[in-house]
Structure 1
């Protein structure tokens, strides 16, 4: 599974006896990463102004492309884990399935050239890591690259500048609004704000969390890709206070200012 906080989908949830073996790009509280991002996003000499893949997924696909018939799921997991240096790749479910041959899950496969050999030829063996970007920052990276590569077209440059500044402002607004909500709720409950702002509590109060997220969307607006990282603050508030009404009151007050 390739996603930020993807480990949270299976941690303490996926049984180990139902014939399912899962691996994730990250643990339960960190971002996954894009790779081959600007300025290393060129195809045939042309910059696409975006990340060409996800670090974990690219490592997995390149390993699969080699078509090593004897490789097991566990061996593949360890290879991808060792090559994904920016996040913690994890495994869940029925570990005994790790002894199964990896290629038995996608059929016969004719090996194609190892792209890592190309990296060695270019003398940049760490290209994927060097060009990786936190998934929460890909939009910012994309708009910045578009702005830099807009050339002498003033109309395009103006449009990309608008998008870049809009992304920066949205990120700043998200940081501020979640900080205010977390701080206010904790003060109302005589708590320490940092416990909500910095912690990573395991979610158990799902009704409270669902209510808080829905209240935020209705009152403050949709949660952007970047702002999704702050949803953990709502989770922390629910786990610490289990007070949906207090959280809702703070959301309505702060987002209505």
Structure 2
């Protein structure tokens, strides 16, 4: 998409990305692109939710990185603040939020010298905010990994529901299902990768299971047909990945890059995700947002 847009002739582009492992979406950018992009976390880390007040809101109100750059833009004069200055401020603020994510930057670094107003518009477009809003540390509120938010929310539902009530029973069932599904995804992906990669060959140059799972090879692929097929093959045998399982997208991409096909993954998945080990609900769930198998 970016390649096509650049061919169409945009001058320069500023991109902010808030997502777990979001650095993996932009780490191919270098100074040959007319794009400067920053992301909430590197390719191996989750991003973090902030303004989490369970007893007041029963949810988290923002994402640490997005809150940091948007509040900075709101309270400072964007005609006087450079993109580079904002990046330094946002990176420092995110690191003070009791998180372990690191804001990253890629692309054309010359853009960092431009004023924010070049990309965000002149000052005055946003509603005025008090200066102390940005200075108020988000550490006054609970901060947590995006992966933890769903479990944290469901635990709160269980705790707030009356003991013995239908509401509490239903909340507990949802919580148990989420925890069981996450365990299933974690264990099945690891087992599939081990079965495929460790069984490749005795070649000392072969990629190891550990390298695929821990991110010691590049995190993206240009073979989209293979990538989509990997996800579809997994879900056909092991059930939907859900949002939690998307953290393994990098693993599927790496398998493509080392020459593994979706068919090979499907064979391994069929042996590991035996029908009696997979909750029928996970197989029947709507897989909207995921990919159909282009190989079928």
**2: CA distance between counterparts of 1:84 and 1:148?**
30
- 1:112 is the counterpart of 2:122: no
Report SS of the residue matched to 1:12.
Answer: coil
State whether residues 233 and 262 of structure 2, in contact with CA within 8 Å, keep that contact through their aligned partners in structure 1: no
How far is the alpha carbon of 1:189 from its aligned partner? 1.4
1:218 corresponds in structure 2 to 236
User: Matched residues in 2 for 1:12 and 1:89: separation?
Assistant: 16
Deviations along 1:213-238, one digit per CA (max 9) or x if unpaired, are 12112332221111112233333333
State whether residues 185 and 237 of structure 1, in contact with CA within 8 Å, keep that contact through their aligned partners in structure 2: no
- Who is 2:25 aligned against? 9
Following TM superposition, the consecutive aligned residue runs of length 4 or more in structure 1 with deviations greater than 6 angstroms are none
Partner of 1:161: 172
Structure 1 match to 2:272: 254
Equivalent residues of 1:29, 1:200 under 8 A apart = no
CA contact (8 A) 2:49 2:64 kept: yes
Counterpart position of 2:255: 237
Quick one: distance in 1 between partners of 2:266 and 2:29?
28
2:122 and 2:163 mapped to 1: Cα distance?
50
Q: What are structure 1's unaligned runs of at least 5 residues?
A: 120-124
In structure 2, the residue matched to 1:122 is: none
How big is the shift at 1:83? 0.7
Please tell me the root mean square deviation across aligned C-alpha atoms, in Å: 2.5
* 1:111 Cα deviation after fit: 3.7
The answer to whether the 8 Å contact 2:75/2:134 transfers is no
TM-score (norm 2): 0.73
Aligned residues: 243
Asked whether the 8 Å contact 2:29–2:106 carries over to 1, the reply is: no
Question: Please, which runs of 5 or more residues in structure 2 have no aligned partner?
Answer: 1-16, 203-207, 276-296
